[in-house]
Structure 1
């Protein structure tokens, strides 16, 4: 059995686009259930105890970047270096596959105008296709867990999920989709529940956004790049999809 954890970077709002982060990134992280339970979960807890003295802190990129909610010690340059070296070593060693969709919200509005789809719902369809293809290649099924947000956002995502189960996508029949997804369920879990898989997906999402925005790349991107799902021509289009596609602009 495979486990899939879904998280995002940025927001899906189109009427107020942040000029400093005008994108939405949706990530799906696939991991073998046994490896997750016997390696990733205990080792992530061990890292937290080593660095912070307890395993109750929740890895969240926004908190790490801003040195808050348990990450105040990261203001110390020496501790910050130790933190990233330890975390990067684990992220490189752990076994997981990443699929991600980047929606450039400004170009999305330019291309589609008032007909522009919600970036979350749009990217979810594309992401699910890549995840299902990967699950099929492994001859397995996947349980999907997404981070719970506000109730109305969870409700919108659940409706979009149910629509996928009933209609499928352009390249994926509903029957094929349901066969790959264990019980066709989408589980929601809160960030505060300290779910290792959701925290790892969170750590993966922002470096992908930085890559697209051509910001200085760090070691975490080089690690994630090696984890992206690949096809015959590499990971573009297979493990990493950018929307709108270049040919869609005119």
Structure 2
């Protein structure tokens, strides 16, 4: 891993990144690269401190190492997802498809394998932050509300809910799940291939089409828990659409 870059004149007002990592030198390098790009970085050396700082600081994004002490990264990620939809990028020495799929299934938005290029980490941070702030799939789209049956997606507040029988049930979607829901809800009867969803909603991730299936499965489960069965619909060997054609 390269040494930290020389400080560059930059206004650190573009976002706060919480780095939960137990190797101080890695934290220092990432913070230096973030600062050079106008982003603030704050370090936490273990899971307990990371969760405490997440509550106190409300960061725009979390960089989370898997092998941290007390508790480990998987437990921290699960707790962050229970709390809300703060974007999370996992940092890990593992380079196995199973680990990547587990990170995405638990709710990570991206995955970086050590050893990594710090400049690439910053680029991924920027990309995830852009998507989070756009509240959509990266093309901006029309601000306002998307409605697809009982599903309502507020692009301005980055919230989704199910409205049925006079009740409104919030959906605790991750950033990736939200992007997929938005992408499918814009053209709800069009069949969208996994490759298209991967390119449009997970452009910085590893090119594994089955990761789309994992995110769709979690999105469908959350909709089912809110009383909506079957959305999104799958067409074996083809892809997904949000609703069945009438």
TM-score w.r.t. structure 1 length? 0.26
RCO greater where, 1 or 2, for CA within 8 Å and sep 6 or more?
Answer: 1
> TM-score, with normalisation over the residues of structure 2?
0.26
